[in-house]
Amino acid sequence: MSAASATAASVTNLVTSGRSKDRNVGSLVFLGLLWFSLFFGVLVLVALIVDTAIKGAPRFDAELLTNYSSLFKPEETGFKAGIVGSIWLMICTAILAVPLGISAALYLEEFADTNRWWNRLIEVNLQNLAAVPSIVYGLLALAVMAVIGFDDEGVVLGGAIALALLILPVIIITTRESVRAVPQDIRQGSLALGATVWQTTWRQTLPSAIPGIATGTILGLSRAIGEAAPLIVVGFGVNVLFTPELGPEGLTSSGTSLPNQIYNLSSQSREEFVTAASAAIIVLLVMILGMNALAIIIRNKFQRSW
Amino acid sequence: MSDTLLPAGPPDRAGLRAPVDLSHKLRPGEAVIKAVLLTCAVLSVAITIGIVVTLIRPVIDFFDWPGMAAGDDGKRVAFGDFFATEGTYAVLPLIVGTLMVTVIALLVAVPLGLGAAAYLSEYASPRARKWLKPTVELLAGVPSVVYGFFALKFVTPTLLQDILALEVGFTNSLAAGLVLGVMVIPTIASLSEDAMSAVPHSMRQGSLAMGANRMQTTLRVVFPAALSGIAAAVVLGMSRAVGETMIVALAAGAQKRFDVDPFSGHQAMTGYIAQTFGGENPVGSTPYNMAFAVAMTLFVMTLILNIVSMIFVRRFRNVY
């Protein structure tokens, strides 16, 4: 490209974007307001993290992670039960929600005839479920537990059911998006070679969509790890002094989660508990930001363009 | 039909096998898999039905229906006592508390969310958008219990009482609403950005060709064109705010009040449910059943908001 045509192109670009006319006071103020609204949230987030980190600074010690909660020694109270409980809950939630969510999404994308009323009903219903208040899922999980025959409150299984129901719509919606992004040519090529719809889905579509599905699933799980409301309803205790056993027996033992312990300590008046809660918040944020970072890394590393 | 599709080959099909018609071939394995996947999809409908069924039973036990015997603990509540402005079983103070916090949240989230969306869709380069959008969405990843703690331990004592010198209570709707608004920003920003990006480029080019600058184009062309999508985003943000629990449970307080003073604490519907289940209320007792009645009210409210939002989305899709 010659210098003249490059200049012409950049001038055209400037004129057609409207940027050249942005010089009056009104539009500069407007641009400033847009910048402000974009960074306001980040500002709040920074204030939140800095303030919490300063409040929690005296308690960044090993006891925070290795001690159980203690009402008698507030300066040594720890969150071992909550941290292990949250991780354990996460695993159970993933086992319950991920296969179900992916299957439902595959049905809706690959098999369903969208003109049928029942398939449209499922779609509208999914959009609706994604916006149902999380506390209502806790009530539903309570009822499901009563049906299965567990009257003891606060068992890990109940919490996992509540969280799985909560993130199921999220997983279905993100999986559908990543399945839809797989080009039609790949399916047609497979079908033309004589593969059935399921063979095409299992061997071509699903492997291509896995990075997107993994991203969506991790984001869904990182939402579940921070939820406290449904777990309060299911009856998660806070002063649990043991960690659930790894394995099927652990499902029916009572447990607690990190957000529930934070909620409980927030309303305590003693300063030591507030300090401990602040430190626990930083631990929770590190866990969640770590999961988010993992999702972003997966998305950037495996993102394909066809 | 299949006869007309066979022009290839010699007319008498000499030396060729007849083509296989695969369209009606029985594939039992395939059918089973399809049925399993369909079951998983139908489960979502079952969840909705499950929610309604779960909520209805205690609600029936809660109200004093004409001609029904007394409940487990010999007490049923009249409709008049539930839809009253004060009393132990009144729901209207809870609704007022919820709406107060929601309105404050929307006052924060709507301008800021729309501003962020306008910048991302109209001003940011694709490269900048790739980084800025996840940054805004990071706000949605912070757990609500953390926001609640922040509202209770920083916004109320430090920001409102010390810096702004306002006469606010230990728990107040203002702090809860402000922080809730920050939490709702990503919902509104993300959805309105989708709606604004969907406005065809020819409309912007038309506006710019008439001599408008980017601000005028954004405000007078893109905004009106994306209005139903933006309305859907705002309604969905409202539904999020109404259903949020931990922030209001921690920062808005537990006083049932029927007034609109943002400086004092109000109990919201979700806060009431959390308080009831966090305390010692046996299954079947009147407060326990009342929590389900409140949850039913909440579910119906968010359902209506979601349907309104979907209607707006459908309208905005039909325009182009």
Three-state SS sequence of A144-160: HHHHHCCCCCCEHHHHH
Closest CA to A45 of B147, B318, B204: B147
pLDDT at A23 over 90: no
Burial of B308 (0-12, 13-18, 19+ CB in 10 A): middle
Compare CB distances from B45 to A48, A125, A288 and report the shortest one's residue. Answer: A125
Q: How far apart are CA B104 and CA A76, in angstroms?
A: 39
B134 interaction partners in chain A (CB closer than 8 Å): 296
DSSP A21: G
- Residue range A299-305: average pLDDT? 77
- Residue range B100-118: average pLDDT? 95
Q: What integer pLDDT is reported at residue A97 of this predicted model?
A: 93
Residues A41, B136 contacting (CB under 8 angstroms): yes
Amino acid at A152: D
Q: How far is A301 from chain B (nearest CA, A)?
A: 15
State ipTM: 0.88
B43 interaction partners in chain A (CB closer than 8 Å): 100, 104, 168
Closest CA to B242 of B117, B45, B104, B84: B104
pLDDT at B151 over 90: yes
- Residue range B190-194: average pLDDT? 92
Q: How far is B255 from chain A (nearest CA, A)?
A: 15
Residue A296 CA: distances (Å) to CA of A47, A179, A289, A292, B162 = 24, 18, 10, 6, 39
Amino acid at B312: F
- Residue range A231-252: average pLDDT? 76
Q: Mean pLDDT of all residues in chain B?
A: 86
Query: Is the backbone of residue A99 left (phi > 0), alpha (psi -120 to 50) or beta?
Result: alpha
Q: Give the containing element (helix H, strand E) for A89.
A: helix A80-106
Closest CA to A231 of B277, B248, B183: B277
Q: What integer pLDDT is reported at residue A64 of this predicted model?
A: 77
Contact B146 A48 (CB under 8 A): yes
Q: How far apart are CA B49 and CA B43, in angstroms?
A: 10
pLDDT tens digit string along A57-101? 888 887 778 778 777 777 778 888 888 889 989 999 999 999 999
Give the up-direction half-sphere exposure of residue B305: CA atoms within 13 A in the CB hemisphere. Answer: 23
Burial B9-44 (b: 16+ CB within 10 A, else e): eeeeeeeeeeeeeeeeeeeeeeeebbeebbebbbbb
Amino acid at B152: L
Residues A234, A136 contacting (CB under 8 angstroms): no
Give which of B24, B30, B40, B155 to mutate to test A binding, by max A Cβ within 10 Å.
B40
- Residue range B55-78: average pLDDT? 75
Residue B205 CB coordination number (10 Å): 15
Q: What integer pLDDT is reported at residue B74 of this predicted model?
A: 59
Q: What integer pLDDT is reported at residue B2 of this predicted model?
A: 45
A229 interaction partners in chain B (CB closer than 8 Å): 144, 245-246, 249, 270, 274
Contact A144 B120 (CB under 8 A): no
Closest CA to B253 of A234, A235, A266: A266
Q: What integer pLDDT is reported at residue B308 of this predicted model?
A: 92
DSSP B210: T
Q: What integer pLDDT is reported at residue A69 of this predicted model?
A: 78
- For B283, name the nearest residue in chain A, comparing CA atoms only: A151
What is the dihedral angle through the alpha carbons of B97, B288, B301, B137, rounded to the nearest 10 degrees? 70
Q: Does B304 touch chain A (CB under 8 A)?
A: no
Residues in chain B: 320
Burial A142-181 (b: 16+ CB within 10 A, else e): bbbbeeeebeebbbbbbbbbbbbbbbbbbbbbbbbebbee
Q: Does B120 touch chain A (CB under 8 A)?
A: yes
Q: Mean pLDDT of all residues in chain A?
A: 86
DSSP for B75-140 reads --B-HHHHTSSSSTT--HHHHHHHHHHHHHHHHHHHHHHHHHHHIIIIIS-HHHHHHHHHHHHHHH
Q: What integer pLDDT is reported at residue B13 of this predicted model?
A: 54
pLDDT at A16 over 70: no
Residue B73 CB coordination number (10 Å): 12
Q: How far is A246 from chain B (nearest CA, A)?
A: 26
> pLDDT-based confidence at B73, cuts 50/70/90?
low
| A275, two tokens | 């300090």
Q: How far apart are CA A38 and CA B118, in angstroms?
A: 9
Residues B104, B155 contacting (CB under 8 angstroms): no
Q: Does A49 touch chain B (CB under 8 A)?
A: no
Residues A156, A255 contacting (CB under 8 angstroms): yes
> pLDDT-based confidence at B106, cuts 50/70/90?
very high
Contact B135 A140 (CB under 8 A): no
> pLDDT-based confidence at A15, cuts 50/70/90?
low
Compare CB distances from A262 to B136, B149, B244 and report the shortest one's residue. Answer: B149
Angle among Cα B51, B57, B61 to the nearest 5 degrees reads 145
Query: Is the backbone of residue B84 left (phi > 0), alpha (psi -120 to 50) or beta?
Result: beta
Q: What integer pLDDT is reported at residue B20 of this predicted model?
A: 67
- Residue range A171-196: average pLDDT? 91
pTM of the model: 0.87
Contact B274 A229 (CB under 8 A): yes
Query: Which range, of A152-156, A289-293, B267-271, averages the lowest pLDDT?
Result: A152-156
pLDDT at A17 over 90: no
What percentage of residues in chain A have a pLDDT greater than 70? 92
User: What SS3 state is found at B283?
Assistant: coil
DSSP B2: T
pLDDT tens digit string along A205-222? 999 898 889 988 998 999
User: Residue A131 contacts by C-beta under 8 Å, 6 or more apart in sequence?
Assistant: B236, B239, B240, B243, B302, B305, B306, B309
Q: How far apart are CA B221 and CA B242, in angstroms?
A: 31
